[in-house]
Structure 1
Amino acid sequence: MHPVVATKPATRMILALVCVSQFMVILDASIVNVALPSIQRELGFSATSLAWVVNGYLLTFAGLMLLGGRAADLFGHRRMLVSGLFVFSVASLVAGLATEPAVLVAARVAQGVGAAMLAPATLAVINTSFVQSRERARAFGAWSASGGLGGMAGAVVGGALTTGLSWRWVFLLNVPIGAGLVVLALLSLARPRPGRRASLDLTGAVTATAGLGAVIYGVMRSADHGWTKLPVAGPVVVGLLLLLAFVVVEARFATEPMMPLRLFGIRRVAVGTAMLLLFGGIAIAMWYFTSLFLQNVLNYSALRAGLGQTPAAVMFVVVARIAAALLSRTGVRPLMVVGCGGFVAGFGWLSQAAAGSGYVTSVLGPTLLIAAGIGLTFPTLMATVTSDVPEGDAGIIGGLSTTASQVGGSVGLAALTTVAGGRIGTRSSAEALAAGYDLVFVVAAALGLALAVVSTLLPKPDRG
């Protein structure tokens, strides 16, 4: 598929399109958490089935992104973005009107499908619409900031909608936004020039999607079962075997592979993908476990905890835009080194927080440092991994990078939960919980140091 370069008048519309789309996709992963108790009471979910209101979305979102990325290359970024918005919006409407648990879970699964079509397409649109490296870096900065803002706004927006209106509005909110984005996409994105239509590698698509889905499913269940128990180890082992089969199929049998392995011969793609896996664990340690510390140790409500993390979200948004402007001048490594320094210093400081700590000195200060680190590293990584990709591979590279970040977050959440649980044991006091979370923050600081070391392998981007 030949790239379609946007004209100057359309670039602002395109940037607004991809940023709001990314905001909506990431917002939907977190906004529902505050509404879960209300959903359970009204629809009669059991304690175990309620988790699938969250997991149904995350599982299909992460599991299908590689397929969504390749589909964007084969069938057109414009078509996949519009189709993803349509599926996501219709599924949101069904979720908001659901009267049975099964209907809501099915709608959440369908939302994940739409998000998996949409997210890689937004990256491909950036890569093909913003030609100069400086413009592309700024677009990635805005895109990254939008996603981070969506993740952080979830608790606040979800709490406000659930309290002021109804839990149904955490889903219905997507419908008018999605409809507006469909119109914006049709107006701002030009139709692609016709090119050679390749066929979808069906065997690769099935093995990759099933393998990723099985691994993520097993990891999700690790919070309720030990890592060696069959409900966790079984899906993980099956998933890894399917992913191994996927690699064999792509290397030996596929005439037009879904994931051309030659892409891993591009150093920034191979190294950047590994770094995004590490980054996923760091981001989870920041947003998820800091929220737990505020709620379980300092006794904040969910809404107050969300507000307590708002300064860090603002810091992330501001620094991400600054990093995008600096990337073409400084190159990758200085931004990564300074950002990783923020991780090490911030998490080291945060690991000293205790049950009697104050918010300003023990949480606000370190989270601002960590958020600045995220703002420096994430858009830099995304711009580096996806820049100047071979023609026809922008979608699959976008799918690969977003999948790496999502899988890193899922595995990181499971692993860090195990770390915290091992320290906490059977105790439930604020002091015991603080000790468990502090150990998580120490591990996150080590991940930041590892990220800095691996970043030395990244090449410098072309300046332009």
Structure 2
Amino acid sequence: MQKHPGVEAPGVTARHVTARPRFALAALAGAQFTVMLATSIVNVALPRIRAGAGLSDSGTTWVVNAYGLAFGALLLAGGRAADLWGRRRVLLVGLALFGTASLAAGLATTSATLIAARAAQGVGAAAVAPAALALLTEVFPPGPGRGRALAVWGGVSGAGAAAGVLLGGLLTQAWGWPWIFHAVAAGALLALVAAAVVVPCAPAAGGGRFDLPGAATVTLALTALVWGLTGARHSGWTDLRVVAAFALAAVLLTLFVLIERRHPHPLLPPRLFTAGGVRAGNVLMGLLGSVWIALFFFLPLYQQQVLGSGPLTTGLGQLPLAGANLLGSALAPRIARRFGPTATVTAALLTEAGGLLWLSRISADGGYLTDVLGPSILIGLGLGIAFVQLTALSVEGVPRTDAGLAGGLVNTTRQVGGAIGLALLATLAGSVTAGAETEAPYLDALTAGYRTAFGISAAVLTVAAVLAPVLSGRVAGRAAGRDAARVMGRDEATRPTRRGGARRQGRSRPTR
């Protein structure tokens, strides 16, 4: 049986690892599904959570942002910890924390407790996601097998986000909003048991020590940034607290750069951005993420607040999107082999942009079949294909010692992009709604805000589609340059000498 490099550990041979890769994939995909489920499962229940926990408008947004921000801000730290301390160990600890925080959120009786529990969920998720992705790349080496595994990964990621809306609606309507968190806790427990049983152990891949100052400064910087963006929605961009938050974020990010330059083992080493498609994949994933979370925030609100759908009906309305996402994820490797990765990513981003542009035409007196169903299918297909391809691009060519960090980085760009995108789009949508209320009925004004959010999201993905061929071309150019250098090295080794012989590396010239 083929051995996979870098996955052997005491008591766990390469044969043991490869004998059950499908079981390991199922456990890792289950962990990722649960993490993504927690991202969107609260969206349908937000109106009832707000009433039950006594949340203000800003507090309601922070139920979403506390999870997304903690998740995104700590993913780099989680990925680096997985490389240094062992990926399976970090995965199991992260799942335990994630499940405990989910249970605490379901038992919360105050807004502060609920938001704190959501932040703790994000901390656990920040350990789970990069460790699981790094383990997946160990079990499945580069090739068709990894492509299929990443297709499953992409499918469960998108399906988890869409299924969160459905499950949130079912549980909220049947038993109340606390049960959405109890369900996530149960999922985390199942993933923990499965990972403990079937995911192989592997030795720590990295060396050095953990960059605690770098992790602290970048986490605080991102927190200040998103807090400022969220506050701008309610207080305005010139509010003193908002300006102070932006200034603090700028100072901390500058400090982070200085720390990284001096630290012997930086949290974000420069070498990572020269490996494979890391740079291109993360830029495009950040743009995709900036509209991803916002979509699952605004679409259920439109269905409930404008169309008058209940939580259960709203959740059922997400099934076509989830199904299209699964189909797109499954087809992504085949399409990429047929048309090439660059054309596939570009087409996928344009497909999703088309769906969002369609959503930007919603009306206050519309309906699900006329305003939501068609766009949802387009968005699901584009999202599934794009996510699989960009994840593969972001870990392509990364050495094993940085696999966890690369997984943390691509998740960071998606999550932080999502938190920033949600804050910006919510601010803009709220401003449009507030301006339209003076001249139009409330539902028309609310719909105008949602249309603005969807329209800007479509524009962002169109920009990403334009950038995709440029960035992918640079990756291909660097790869071609490395291949040419290797060929030139071989030619140099075998170039004929003046005496008619050939230079054979490692051989001595025969004596006369």
Normalised by the length of structure 2, the TM-score is: 0.83
Q: Is the 8 A contact 1:286 1:370 kept in 2?
A: no
- Given that residues 2 and 194 in structure 1 are in contact (C-alpha distance below 8 angstroms), is that contact kept between their aligned partners in structure 2? no
State the one-letter code of the partner of 1:204: G
Per-residue deviation, residues 278-337 of structure 1 (Å, max 9, x unmatched): 112232453333333323332323332222222112101111111034334443112112
CA shift digits 1:358-397 (9 cap, x unpaired): 4323321122112211112111001111123122111111
In the alignment, which residue of structure 1 is the partner of 2:499? none
Aligned to 1:95: 105
Find the counterpart in structure 2 of residue 283 from structure 1: 292
Alpha-carbon distance between aligned partners in 2 of 1:302 and 1:231, rounded to the nearest angstrom: 36
Specify whether residues 164 and 356 from structure 1 end up closer, same or farther in structure 2 by C-alpha distance, changes over 3 A only: closer
Greater alpha carbon shift after TM alignment, 27-36 vs 401-410: 27-36
Q: Which residue of 2 aligns with 1:28?
A: 38
Provide the residue aligned with 1:440 in structure 2. 453
- List aligned pairs for 1:287-298, cutoff 5 A: 287-298=296-307
2:110 and 2:429 mapped to 1: Cα distance?
35
Counterpart contact for 2:84–2:206, Cα < 8 Å: no
| Counterpart position of 2:484 | none
Alignment of 1:25-424 (within 5 A): 25-36=35-46, 38-39=48-49, 49=59, 51-99=61-109, 101-193=111-203, 197-251=207-261, 253-266=262-275, 268-424=277-433
1:223 CA displacement? 2.6
Q: CA deviation at 1:52?
A: 4.3
Counterpart check, 1:430 vs 2:436: no
Q: Is the 8 A contact 2:276 2:397 kept in 1?
A: no
CA distance, structure 2, for counterparts of residue 196 and residue 103 of structure 1? 36
Q: In terms of Rg, which structure is larger?
A: 2
Where in structure 1 are there 5+ consecutive unaligned residues?
Answer: none
Q: 1:31 to 1:396 in 2, by over 3 A?
A: same
Deviation track 1:206-264 (CA, whole Å, cap 9, x = no partner) reads 2222222222222233332222323333223212321222122212x111111101222
Distance 1:154 1:179 in 2: 17
> Does the CA contact (< 8 Å) of 1:137 and 1:328 recur in 2?
no
Q: Secondary structure at the match of 2:257?
A: helix
The answer to which of 21-30 and 70-79 deviates more is 21-30
Letter in 1 for 2:388: P
Structure 2: distance between partners of 1:453 and 1:329: 21
Q: Which segment is superposed worse, 228-237 or 84-93?
A: 228-237
Separation in 1 of the partners of 2:428 and 2:60?
25
Summarize the Cα distance change of 1:60–1:349 in structure 2 as closer, same or farther, 3 Å threshold. Answer: closer
Residue aligned with 1:191, SS: coil
Say if 1:160 and 1:74 are closer, same or farther in 2 by CA, change over 3 A: same
Provide closer, same or farther for how the CA distance between residues 460 and 135 of structure 1 changes in structure 2, counting only shifts above 3 A: farther
* Aligned partners of 1:332 and 1:460 also within 8 Å: no
Shift of 1:269: 1.2
Instruction: Give the stretch that moved more between structures: 448-457 or 71-80.
Output: 448-457
| Structure 1: distance between partners of 2:47 and 2:299 | 21
Letter in 2 for 1:235: A
Question: Which is further off, 316-325 or 302-311?
Answer: 302-311
Change over 3 Å in CA distance of 1:99–1:296 after alignment to 2:
closer
Once the two structures are superposed, what CA deviation does each residue of 1:177-210 show, in whole Å capped at 9, x if it has no partner? 3233222222222222366742112221222222
Would you say how many aligned residue pairs link Structure 1 and Structure 2?
Answer: 461
Q: Is the 8 Å Cα contact of residues 276 and 398 (structure 2) preserved in structure 1?
A: no
Q: Mean alpha-carbon deviation: is it higher for 212-221 or for 402-411?
A: 212-221
- Relative distance call for 1:32 and 1:191 in structure 2 (3 A) is same
* Fraction of identical pairs, as percent: 39
Q: 1:367 to 1:178 in 2, by over 3 A?
A: closer
Local SS of the residue matching 1:200: coil
Query: Residue 114 of structure 1: CA displacement?
Result: 0.8
Provide the secondary structure at the position in 1 that maps to 2:277.
helix
Q: Write the distance in 1 (CA, Å) between the matches of 2:416 and 2:302.
A: 23
Q: Tell me the CA shift for residue 398 of structure 1.
A: 1.0
CA gap 1:121/1:105 in 2 versus in 1, 3 angstroms = same
Check whether the contact 2:275–2:397 (CA below 8 A) recurs between aligned residues.
no
How has the CA–CA distance of structure 1 residues 157 and 210 changed in structure 2, closer, same or farther, with 3 Å as cutoff?
A: same
Pick which of 430-439 and 205-214 moved more.
430-439
Q: Calculate the TM-score normalised by the size of structure 1.
A: 0.91
Following TM superposition, by how much is the alpha carbon of 1:455 offset from its aligned partner in structure 2, in angstroms?
0.6
Q: Which runs of 5+ in 2 are unaligned?
A: 9-13, 480-512
C-alpha deviations, 1:7-54, integer Å up to 9, x for none?
333211111112111111121122234445555555555665555444
Structure 2 letter corresponding to 1:366: P
Where 1:161 maps in the other structure, the secondary structure is: helix
Q: Is the 8 A contact 1:88 1:112 kept in 2?
A: yes
Secondary structure of 2:466's match? helix
Q: CA separation in 2, counterparts of 1:154 and 1:259?
A: 32
- Inter-CA distance 195–302: structure 2 relative to 1 (3 Å threshold): closer
Q: Which moved more, 1:416-425 or 1:377-386?
A: 416-425
Q: 1:420 to 1:52 in 2, by over 3 A?
A: closer
- State how far apart, in whole Å, the 2-side matches of 1:437 and 1:39 are: 21
